[in-house]
Every structure is written in structure tokens, then in C-alpha cells.
Amino acid sequence: MYAHLKRQVPVALPRIVGNVALALCILLASTESQASDTSDPLLTESRLTPLAPCTETQNDRTFDLIDIVNTALCNNPQTREVWANSRAQAAQVGVISGGYLPGVSVSVSENQSTPGNKLSSLGLNFSYLLYDFGARAANLENARQLLISVSATQNNTVQTLFLAAVQAYYQTRSTLAAFDASVVSEQAAQESLKVAAARYQSGSTTPADKLTAQTAYSQATLNRITAHGAMKIAQGSLANILGIDANLGVKLASGSTPVDNGQDKFDAIEQSIVTLIETARLNRPDLLAAQAAVKAAQAAADAARAAGMPTLSMTAAANQNNNAGVNTHGSSLGLAVSVPLFSGFTPTYRIRAADAQVESKKAQMDRIRLQIALDVWNAYQNLATASQNRRSTSDLLSSAEQSERVASGRYRAGAGTMLDLLNAQTILASARQQRIQADLNWNISRATLAQAMGSLDAQLLTSLPDVTTSFKP
């Protein structure tokens, strides 16, 4: 329905309106062209967290823990993927926001007919939606909540990749330390074999001691080969986390012996588990994403309901025609009301689907809330166990080293047996491996708890020791 205004204006006014309309059209077209160049005229990406600028990865340099995490977050394709998804959703917010702006179009035509009549026209059309019972607002709210959800998903991906980089770093350092320990054990077994062979040559021992020492040395060599393979696999996995080919390898910077300064900080975490869970539910990006998804689904349901309501729009047009040298002008201003009457129950089922989607998103949110409680509980218990194991393996390694020194001295002096020496060396090698594993579990458990709490960030890295216990041959 259009309400046309009666024109009681001078004859020159249509010409003025047409000229102004043409100028306005050119101005708007120029503005939109410039907006395409700037890519974000409505500043929809202002709330996004952009990726940090990346520098080219140099494989020949050494990496410490902070370098590993920064490089992984910068180069890994996962971060680029979620950033692109965030920008795409931000653009959708711009698409919906454009519905609040007027629409303007220009039309130009020229026709030549026989026997020579020429008809040309120039028109400018303007439309502006005034009221739609909340459909635009609901769609915009849906897009904004989805943007919040995608942004939170981006943060969750960053945290997950952050933890994966920390785990890969400590796993690599652990395999390096395990390889060093296997080399030390192999050298000790080789030395025992030399001593046994010397005593056998001098007639002070039996062939059985020499054969036993030879067997132990062969086993130590096999363990060293296995440890070397595990080290290479861990190095390839670390390179993959960094976004480079696994065969290129990564050199890790040598660090100082781990200290317990970070332990004091994490001992302070030992508080009420209920408080930890509630804090995690406030910080976890996956729960924030789920909450935003619920709000987005509710907005989509509101939009589905509003889609069946009438709409009120304002329209305006200005036209200038030339027919065989005769100029005519016209302009109009009106209101248009559109009332949907029947569309095959489609709106009804869209509303039902939207309401079901809201329930689905709520169930997902509740599931994530429960999972957070389980994640925090498991991570907390793992950290407590790892802390106790780390203290126990330190005592175990110290006593095993003393026992091996005593057994080695007794055998060299002829007072001990080869069996006693090999048992002591076996226990010492096992204690070294347990100490390495305890260090690995302790470092990863702390990072895992921080990730479960939603607080895994660069500040945590300053409190983590740079290396795992290493045994140099």
C-alpha cells in the first residue's frame, strides 16, 4: 500500500529532485566502493582478538619453551582457521547491520525505435524499512551472539594448541633426557663388561660373570636404540605442532636445572575444589562459546516468530524521461505495508525447529559445565599425584646412585658379585627413567590444570622450569 503525495510544486522542482537524486546516487555508490576497499566500514572486527604478526620460522636456531608456544600459536594452521571463521562471522554481523540502513539504486535506460523515436530515462529509487516487529533486531542479536561464540571458540583453540605445544616441548625434552640416560647406562654396562673380562683373564672370576655382563651390555645397547627412536618421533611431533615439516627437526635451547620456584605458586592452588570448578566455569572459553550459542539460538527463535509479522517500509523515487525530445519528470514518496497471510505452515515449522535448537544448545551447555567439573577434578588429582611422585623419585634416584657406587666399588675390589652390580645398575637405570617421567608428568599436569581452569597463558610459562632432568654421559 502506497500513499502518494500530491505535487503542488513548481515545474522546475522535479528537475532539481532528479539532479539531486543522481548526485546522491553517485555519492552513495562511491561510498560503497570505498567501503569495499577498507573491508570493514561498520567496524565489525573491532572486538576480535587478531593474530599476532608472524615471523619466518628459522629451523637452524634454538627454541626455548616460550619460543615453542609463540611459534606454534603463530604458525599452526588451526589458529589461522579459527581466525578466518571469526572474521567470517564478523562479516555476517555487518550483513545484518546493513538492514538498518536505507537502500538506494539507480536505473538508466535508452531505447531507439523505428522510425527514429528515442526514449531515455534516468531513475533513482530509495527504500527504508521502518518497522518489522523485531525481526532485524533478533537477526542482529543472533549474529552478534554467534560472533561471541566463534570468538570464544577461537580462544579455546588457542588454549588447546597452547597446551599441546607445552606437552610436545616437555615430551621432547623427556625423550632427550631418556636417551642421555640410556647412553649413560650403556657406558656403565660396557665398563662392567670390561671389568668382568679383565677379572676373567686374570682367573679371579668365572665365565658366567663375563657372559652376564655381555648380556647386560647388549640389553643396554638395545634400550639406547629404542630411546633414540622415541626421541626422533617426539622431535617430529614437536615440529608438526610448530607448523613445519616433521623431518626438519627443532633444536631446543639448553636450560638450567629445574627449580621449585613454580611449585610454590601451584601449591597455592590447593584450595576448595568447588572454588576451582566455579572459577573454571567463569573462565573456560568453551563454556563461554556454549552460552553465546544458547543466546544466538534464542535470538534465531525470536527472528523466526517475527518473520511472520507485517513490515512497514518507506519508499521514494525520482524519474526523468526523454521521449522524442519531450522531457518528463516524476517523483513519489510512499509507505508500504506487507502482511503475510499464508505460506504453507512454513513459519510454524521454522519456529518449532528454532525452539528445538534452543533446547539442543542448552543441553550442550549443561554437558560442557559437567565436563569442566570433571576436567578440573582430574587435572587437580593428577597434579597432586605428580607432585608426590616427583618428590619420591628424587629420593629414589639419590639412593639408587649411592647403591650403584657401592656395588661397583665392591665388585672392582673383588668383594662383590656381578649379580649384585647388575642389579644395582638396573635399579639405577629404572630410577633415572622414573625421575624423567615424574618431571614430565609434573610439568604437563600443571599446564593441564591451568588449561582446565581456562587460564593457560604466557604468564604461566615464566613459572615452568625450562627443561626436564637430564643425564649427560
Q: What is the DSSP string of 250-319?
A: -EEPP-PPP-SHHHHHHHTT-S-HHHHHHHHHHH-HHHHHHHHHHHHHHHHHHHHHHTTS-EEEEEEEEE
φ, ψ of residue 62 in degrees (nearest 5):
-95, 150
Residue 408 binned pLDDT confidence (cut-offs 50, 70, 90):
confident
Residue 66 binned pLDDT confidence (cut-offs 50, 70, 90):
confident
More confident residue, 436 or 345: 436
φ, ψ of residue 393 in degrees (nearest 5):
-70, -25
Name every residue whose Cβ is closer than 8 Å to that of residue 282 and which is 6 or more positions away in sequence: 454
Mean predicted lDDT score pLDDT of the chain: 78
Pairing state of beta strands 103-113 and 326-338?
unpaired
Inter-residue long-range contacts of 399-408, CB under 8 Å, 24+ positions, other chains counted: 400/424, 400/427, 400/428, 400/430, 400/431, 400/432, 401/428, 401/431, 403/427, 403/428, 404/188, 404/428, 408/192
Cell numbers placing 326: 519531450
> Directed axis angle between helix 135-202 and helix 285-306, to 10°?
160
Q: Is 374 exposed, middle or buried (0-12, 13-18, 19+ CB in 10 A)?
A: exposed
Which of 230-234, 346-350, 430-434, 460-464 is least confident?
460-464
Residue 255 binned pLDDT confidence (cut-offs 50, 70, 90):
low
Instruction: Decide which of 1.20.1600.10, 3.30.360.10, 1.10.600.10, 1.10.10.60 is the CATH code for 59-102+133-310+345-461.
Output: 1.20.1600.10
More confident residue, 52 or 391: 391
Mean pLDDT across 371-377 = 87
Rounded Cα gap, residues 377 and 373, in angstroms: 6
Residue 14 binned pLDDT confidence (cut-offs 50, 70, 90):
very low
Mean pLDDT across 313-320 = 84
**Over the stretch 296-306, which tens digit does the pLDDT of each residue have?**
999 988 888 88
For the cut 80, the answer to whether the pLDDT of residue 371 exceeds it is yes
What is the predicted pLDDT for the residue at 461?
Answer: 64
- Asked whether 77 and 54 are in contact (CB, 8 A), the reply is no
φ, ψ of residue 104 in degrees (nearest 5):
-130, 135
Rounded Cα gap, residues 429 and 217, in angstroms: 13
What is the predicted pLDDT for the residue at 206?
Answer: 66
Question: Based on C-alpha coordinates, what's the Rg of the chain?
Answer: 37
Inter-residue long-range contacts of 55-58, CB under 8 Å, 24+ positions, other chains counted: 57/242, 57/243, 57/244
Mean pLDDT across 183-187 = 87
What is the predicted pLDDT for the residue at 160?
Answer: 85
What's the pTM?
A: 0.64
Mean pLDDT across 242-265 = 63
φ, ψ of residue 234 in degrees (nearest 5):
-65, -40
Rounded Cα gap, residues 386 and 15, in angstroms: 85
> Directed axis angle between helix 418-452 and helix 346-412, to 10°?
150
Rounded Cα gap, residues 170 and 234, in angstroms: 10
φ, ψ of residue 61 in degrees (nearest 5):
-95, 170
What is the predicted pLDDT for the residue at 115?
Answer: 66
For the cut 60, the answer to whether the pLDDT of residue 283 exceeds it is yes
